[in-house]
Amino acid sequence: MRSFPALARRTAVPLIAAAVALAGGSLAPAGAATGDSWKVPAQAWLTIKGHGYGHGHGMSQYGAEGAAREGLSAREIIDFYYPGTTWGTAKGPVSVLITADTDDDLVVVARPGLVLRDSAVEGRTVLPDNGASRWRIDVGGAGSDRVSFLKGGRWHRFSTLRGTGQLGAAGQPITLVTPSGTRAYRGWLQLAAPSGSSRARDTVNVLTLENYVRGVVPLEIPALWSPAAVQAQSIAARTYASYERAHPLGSTYQICDTSSCQVYGGYDAEHPAANDAVDATRRQALLADGEPAFTQFGASSGGWTSAGSVSYLTAREDPYDGWSGNPVHAWSLKLADTRLEQAWPALGNLQRITVTRRDGNGDWGGRVAAMTLVGSDGKVVVSGDTFRSVLGLRSTWLTFKVGQRSGARQVMAPRDATPDVLTTGTR
């Protein structure tokens, strides 16, 4: 059983399950120092109030819907959230790591028209319709990959490969079998070796960029939102994949299928309305200096986007994020002081919280950049991102209110660590 290393390119780029689960601005000033400090008595409640969901870089997905409801087109939405980029096109294949397939083989459901390709051999082989229920590529005893089929309750050898093996279905979806279930994908599924000497294998989906975006959009934004918002998501997703393709995450693939990159669910995730948005924006993408732009996006800016790693991910006031349907524009969470003491045991008993630096934008001085926790046994200096990650908070744009628990029995607040994705299932 393989476990994949953390894939952190997108770093909390996010969206939310919140939409389903809950049913021209100015440039940013430099990070601002702050003296915000809260004394924490023994047995305290901490009420954390915040804005937004995610890192805040680039497009707010709730903001995109708010903008669409005010009459902005997809291009106007994109131009607002990625100022300084130019319009271009993107096409060609993309290779996606399928992280759910962790068992170092590639198993697909048998169907008419299955085709096998060997990267070391010209042409392709149409697999026989021989009554098999499954076809498999795995690693043989000599280290070469082999092809087998399941029939009569046992596996039968079909051939040995000289190179990397791919299975496709002549343009039709092909159903992958993983330890957790089955899922259909467009294009080709291949079993690839990360290194020449390893018996470990990656399952990779190779398909056109347009078909890939079809499997992303309904998992990143509700497909039945305003067409302009869904079209804007299509453009951002296509551009993001193009950027990752130019900066691949692995030796056998270019992008992953989780929220560490952008969520991709293959053919099974597609939705007719999202497909319409993809078709309406076919090949449209953003460029920066002639190359694909790094179009990060997140669920909710909370009213201000935050500056990212490139010039076009600017901090600016976002007038579109606060529409009435956004449940995470403003939020609050109540937890016991012991939650922090358990997270940072070097503190002992928590006595004081001090925010030392914010980004300077919006309520309370903006997103927390740095803070100090002081306890009876010592102090801990943490970044806002670390504080958010450890406690599972929605964003770093937050402030505190401290109250006495008055000896009440501790109630642990649940971690709000849901990936920032706007939808789940047919997200």
> pLDDT digit string (tens) for 88-99?
999 999 999 999
Rounded CA-CA distance 419/54 in Å is: 9
Strand partners, 368: 358
d(C-alpha 13, C-alpha 256), whole Å = 13
Residue 422 has pLDDT above 90, yes or no: no
Which pLDDT value is given to residue 31?
56
- 289-313 pLDDT, tens digit per residue, is 999 999 999 999 999 999 999 999 9
Q: Amino acid identity, residue 79?
A: D
Confidence of residue 14 (pLDDT cuts 50, 70, 90): very low
For the chain, the farthest-separated pair of C-alpha atoms sits apart, in whole angstroms, at 76
pLDDT the model gives residue 34: 65
pLDDT at 370: 98
Q: Which residues contact 341 (CB under 8 A, 6 or more apart)?
A: 347, 348, 349, 350, 375
The 10s digit of each residue's pLDDT in 189-217 is 999 999 877 889 999 999 999 999 999 99
Instruction: Determine the pLDDT at residue 415.
Output: 40
